[in-house]
Amino acid sequence: MASEKRAEHPLHHFHGGVHLPGHKHESTRLPIRPARLPKVLVIPLAQHIGQPAEPLVAVGDKVLKGQPIARAADYVSAPVHASSSGTVVAIEERPIPHPSGRSAPCIVIETDGQEQWRWRKELPEDYRSMDPSHLRNLIREAGIVGLGGAGFPTAVKLNPLPGKLVKTLILNGAECEPYITCDDMLMRERPYDILSGLEVMRHALQAETCVIAVENNKPQAIEALRQAIRARGLDDVEVVEVPTIYPAGAEKQLIKTITGEEVPSNGLPIDIGVVCHNVGTASAVHRAVTLGEPLISRIVTIAGGVAEPRNLEVLIGTPFHDLLEECHGVPGTLDKLIMGGPMMGVAVHTDAVPVIKTTNCILAVTRADMPLPHRGEARPCIRCGRCYDVCPMELLPQQLYWYARAKDLDKVQEYHLFDCIECGCCDYVCPSHIPLVQYYRYAKTAIWAREREREKADLARRRFEARQARLEREKRERAARHKKRRVASEDERQAKILDALEKAKAKKRAGGGEGEGGGA
Amino acid sequence: MVAALIGIGALGVVFGALLGFAAVRYRVEGDPVVDRIDALLPQTQCGQCGFPGCRPYAEAIAAGEADINQCPPGGEATIRALADLLDREPKPLAAEHGETPEVKQVAVIDEQTCIGCTLCIQACPVDAILGAPKQMHTVIAEECTGCKLCLPPCPVDCIEMVPVEEDLEHWVWPHPDEERRHGV
């Protein structure tokens, strides 16, 4: 029925977007293969949005594959599990894939090669009979976060607030960035895992309809999914082919394409009754709920200048250099190493950084294999307006650029800076090669920093004022005490004088009497 | 002639009464300019400007007794914001008040050496030090503004300023222009 309805309503278009060279076929020639077990696993505590996890193990502990080694610190957080069996040799700061190039706390495990699993959790008989909240707990304990790139804890996204109905659950298999093919290969090879995860998610969300969105440049994936749907008899799940245009796979753009509705500014997809999950996440949910396996591995595309581009199933914590080696290294001079795609990825500063839950692609950029045309020195903006033409959020990139560049943090927010999804379309088309997105990223983080500083200043002001008030009060109290004492001592003196006079009088009287008596 | 005089006079009386009424009815309590200046100051309460706290400095600026370039913790950004608010020309930080610190710092007490004299507690402008006579003292890092006022009174020199560790969540992307200038 849903498909009939969809057939009546053609797909919608989002504003702008760009057509990019795909570079997808290089890494889809070989099937997915498990990567070799690395000697050392470096597992960061913060691989997701939210609070970093808290370690549960100490240096020297033996750990088993799948054992939780750090627990979620908050509601928006995720636990971390040992990807293989071995010994914890360090809990320390190590370089992680982050644009700052800094280090962050990691648990380092020396693997023993046994791949010995922990006692697996007894599986619930059937998730369909389970309460959605119980199901969410299971997914949360498996450490599952969005594998599409953002890394938002999945259990939180599977928990629509009371009173919010989920009309459509969209599985995102669009994968629009050049070079990245991990979702494509997953859909081709493991469509049943994805569908099984989809059913679990649908149950947890109680969603009305389900759609799997795939860009139309992945015919094999679409066919595999459709076949699996037929085989499983899931007639109400529809595979929708969306046009290949970057960024079709961005959450808000995909929702617009499928439903025709826009996610409100500062809002969430659930506000318009939509929840969107990545196909890789669905596969991870399937493994957690039906096999009892936590999230300890993921599929990673190793592409660009490597000798043998391909997809590997990689244990979380495997260093990048192990994977580059497994793909027979980089023949040319490595210019830079990117985690993610050429448009939205972040450059890492060393190949020692580990694969984390959100690592979908490792892109080796060499002189010979430049993902995007070489960008020269930035020249002044000529106000051509092409950035506006391609902006999928219909923002005014030029205006944002002026204000971000001038550090006018108030003005830049008036032009909806925080609606920018940092897709890089404006960068890509800019004839002056201005690194626009970098300016927006700077402005966003600078605004957050300013907000934190203001909060801190307000706290200091309140404490300073409270202290002034206290000092003032103490001074008053001291003065009052002094005055009281002075008054008291005055009274006392008067009393003493009176007393002395009284005594003197009495004495006089008595003395006089005596005298008189004496005289008598 | 007489009519005009009477007319103008009457108008004067009416407007005078109106202004008088407005002055009483819409009287502004306190000085809003001071509040706005105070909001721009970093609230370090360090006294480097020569006034005992940010609020007193704000009052002095509003009264024209102090210049806008006397706040080292606020640095260039604060001077620019003040210049904007007061419609003056920004000027460089006055050197006699000190330099803008490169990184944020907080005070840390070496608890082994502390003798519990409470002098630092009395010096702290934001009550961020905890302790009692002859008991160990400690700094509440979250509330410390890094003003360094606790350093001179300490008789055993057990307080140290340490840079605040910036975690990854609080990291700020470099401004592209500055990055290029530094040749990164």
Q: For residues A345-355, give the mean pLDDT.
A: 93
Q: How far does chain A reach from its first CA to its final CA, in angstroms?
A: 139
User: Chain A residues with CB-CB distance to B under 8 A?
Assistant: 46, 96, 98-100, 102, 104, 378, 405, 407, 435, 438-439, 441-442, 444-446, 448-449, 452-453, 456-461, 463-468
pLDDT reading at A516 higher than 60: no
pLDDT digits (tens, 9 = 90+) for A498-513: 888 888 888 888 766 5
Residues of chain B with Cβ-Cβ distance to A102 below 8 Å are 168, 171
**CATH 1.10.357.10 holds for B32-97:** no
Clarify whether residues A387 and A238 are in a common domain: no
pLDDT digits (tens, 9 = 90+) for A404-444: 999 888 899 999 999 999 999 999 999 999 999 999 999 99
- The CATH number for A173's domain is 3.40.50.11540
d(CA A448, CA A391) in angstroms, rounded, equals 24
Q: Do A461 and B176 touch (CB under 8 A)?
A: no
- pLDDT confidence tier of residue A292, bands split at 50, 70 and 90: confident
> Residue A517: which pLDDT band, with cuts at 50, 70 and 90?
very low
DSSP state of A487: H
Distance from CA of B19 to the nearest CA of A (A): 35
Looking at residue A240, what is its pLDDT? 93
Evaluate if residue A348 carries a pLDDT over 80. Answer: yes
Give the other-Cβ count within 10 Å of A396's Cβ: 14
A461:B177 CB<8 A: no
**Residue A370 pLDDT:** 66
**Bond before A319 cis per omega within 30 degrees:** no
Nearest chain B Cα to A457, which residue?
B43
Of the candidates A128, A114, A13, A83, the residue with the CA atom closest to the CA atom of residue A357: A83
Alpha-carbon span A166 to A274, nearest angstrom: 6
- Same domain for A20 and A167? yes
Mean pLDDT of A160-173: 88
Is beta strand B129-130 parallel, antiparallel or unpaired with respect to A54-55? unpaired
Per the structure, how many domains does chain A have? 2
Binary contact (B176, A99; C-beta < 8 A): no
B183 touches chain A (CB under 8 A): no
pLDDT digits over A48-78, tens only?
A: 888 899 999 999 999 999 999 999 988 889 9
Q: Is residue A337 part of a domain?
A: no
Beta-carbon count within 10 A of B158 CB: 16
- pLDDT at residue A305 tops 70: yes
CA gyration radius for chain B?
A: 25
pLDDT of residue A369: 66
| CATH 3.30.70.20 boundaries in chain B | 105-164
Interface test with A, best of B34, B59, B120, B175 (most A CBs within 10 A): B175
Please report whether residue A264 resides in a domain. Answer: yes
- Burial label for B30, CB within 10 Å (0-12, 13-18, 19+), is exposed
Residues of B in contact with A466 (CB under 8 A): 127
C-alpha span between A254 and A171 (Å, rounded):
10
Residue-by-residue DSSP string for B13-58: HHHHHHHHHHHHHTPPPS-HHHHHHHHHS------TTSSSSHHHHH
With CB atoms and an 8 Å threshold, state whether B127 touches A467. yes
Please report the DSSP string for A440-465 in residue order.
HHHHHHHHHHHHHHHHHHHHHHHHHH
Please compute the mean of the pLDDT values over residues A480-488 and round it to a whole number. Answer: 88
Q: Is residue A372 a contact partner of residue A336, using CB atoms and an 8 Å limit?
A: no
Neighbouring C-beta atoms of residue A49, cutoff 10 Å:
17
pTM of the model: 0.83
State the ipTM, two decimals.
Answer: 0.81
Q: Which whole number is the average pLDDT over A228-248?
A: 92
Mutate to test the interface with B, among A420, A433, A456, A461 (most CBs of B within 10 A): A461
User: Is A330 or A301 the better-scoring residue by pLDDT?
Assistant: A301
Provide the pLDDT for residue A515: 46
Whole-number pLDDT of residue A432: 92
Q: pLDDT value at position A514? A: 52
Could you tell me the two tokens for A280? 């890789």
Chain segment B10-53, per-residue pLDDT in tens: 999 999 999 999 988 888 776 788 888 998 999 999 899 999 88
Q: Given an 8 Å threshold on Cβ–Cβ distance, is B168 in contact with A442?
A: no
pLDDT digits (tens, 9 = 90+) for A210-235: 999 999 999 999 999 999 999 998 88
**Least confident stretch, A52-61, A290-299, A392-401, B93-102:** B93-102
When pLDDT is cut at 50, 70 and 90, the band that residue A366 belongs to is: confident
Q: Percent of chain A scored above 90 by pLDDT?
A: 68
Query: Which residue of chain B comes nearest to A462, CA vs CA?
Result: B126
> Do β-strands A361-366 and A237-242 pair in parallel, antiparallel, or remain unpaired?
unpaired
Tokens of B127: 């009550």
Domain containing residue A214: 1-30+130-292
Which positions in chain A touch B171 (Cβ < 8 Å)?
Answer: 98, 100, 102, 445
Task: List A301's β-bridge partners, or say none.
Answer: A311, A361
Which of B40, B76, B171, B180 has the highest number of chain A CBs within 10 A, making it the mutation to test binding with A? B171
Distance between CA atoms of residues A416 and A109, nearest Å: 44
Task: Write out residues in chain B with pLDDT < 50, as ranges.
Answer: 183-184
Between β-strands A237-242 and A209-215, what pairing exists: parallel, antiparallel or unpaired? Answer: parallel
A48: nearest CA partner in chain B: B169
Per-residue three-class SS string for A169-191: EEEEECCCCCCCCHHHHHHHHCH
The residue among A230, A261, A292 that closes a domain is: A292
Task: Return the pLDDT at A373.
Answer: 61
**Residue A280 is inside which H or E element, if any?**
helix A279-290
| Number of DSSP helices (H) and strands (E) in chain B, helices first | 6, 4
Q: With a cut of 60, say whether residue A518 has pLDDT above it.
A: no
- Is A384 found in the same domain as A284? no
Within a domain: A82: no
Sequence letter at residue B22: A
Say if residue A145 is in the same domain as residue A269.
yes
> Which neighbouring-strand residues pair with A106?
A44, A92
Residue A209 lies in a domain: yes
Residue A317 has pLDDT above 80, yes or no: yes
Preceding peptide of A247 cis, ω within 30°: yes
A461·B145 Cβ contact <8 A: no
CATH of the domain spanning B105-164, picked from 3.30.70.20, 1.50.10.10, 3.30.565.10, 3.40.50.2300: 3.30.70.20
Q: According to the 3-state scheme, what is the secondary structure of A309-358?
A: CEEEEEECCCEHHHHHHHCCCCCCCEEEEEECCCCCCEEECCCCCECCCC
CB contact set of B58 (below 8 Å; sequence gap of 6+): B34, B35, B37, B38, B41
Size of interface A-B (CB pairs under 8 A): 73
Over the stretch A3-40, which tens digit does the pLDDT of each residue have?
Answer: 444 444 478 999 999 999 989 999 999 999 999 999 99
Do A282 and A404 have their domain in common? Answer: no
What the block records as the tokens of A225 is 């999914």
Q: Is B168 on the interface with A (CB under 8 A)?
A: yes
- At B114 the pLDDT is 92
Domain boundary among A292, A309, A344: A292
Q: How far is B12 from chain A (nearest CA, A)?
A: 45
- pLDDT of A448 above 80: yes
Looking at per-residue pLDDT, the higher value among A9 and A388 belongs to A388
Q: pLDDT per residue over A110-144, tens digit each?
A: 999 988 888 766 666 677 888 888 888 889 999 99
Domain membership flag for residue A108: no
Kindly report, residue by residue over A71-109, the tens digit of the pLDDT.
Answer: 998 888 999 999 999 999 999 999 999 988 889 999 999
A452 with B44: Cβ contact below 8 A: no
Look at residue A231 in the predicted model and tell me its pLDDT.
Answer: 93
Contact assessment for residue A398 and residue A383, using Cβ atoms and an 8 Å cutoff: yes
Domain membership of residue A15 (yes or no) is: yes
Q: Looking at residue A101, what is its pLDDT?
A: 86
> How far apart are the C-alpha atoms of A272 and A166, rounded to whole Å?
8
Task: Decide which of A292, A309, A327 is a domain's last residue.
Answer: A292
**Mean of the per-residue pLDDT values for chain A?**
89
Query: Residue A441's closest chain B neighbor by CA?
Result: B173
Q: Does B47 touch chain A (CB under 8 A)?
A: no
pLDDT (tens digit, 9 = 90+) per residue, A176-201? Answer: 999 999 999 999 999 999 999 999 99
Q: Where in chain B is the domain with CATH 1.10.15.40?
A: 32-97
* Residue given tokens 């059913």 in the structure block: A199
Q: Answer whether B25 touches A (CB < 8 Å).
A: no
Asked if B53 and A378 come within 8 Å (Cβ–Cβ), the reply is: no
Residue from the list A407, A445, A466 with its beta carbon closest to the beta carbon of B173: A445
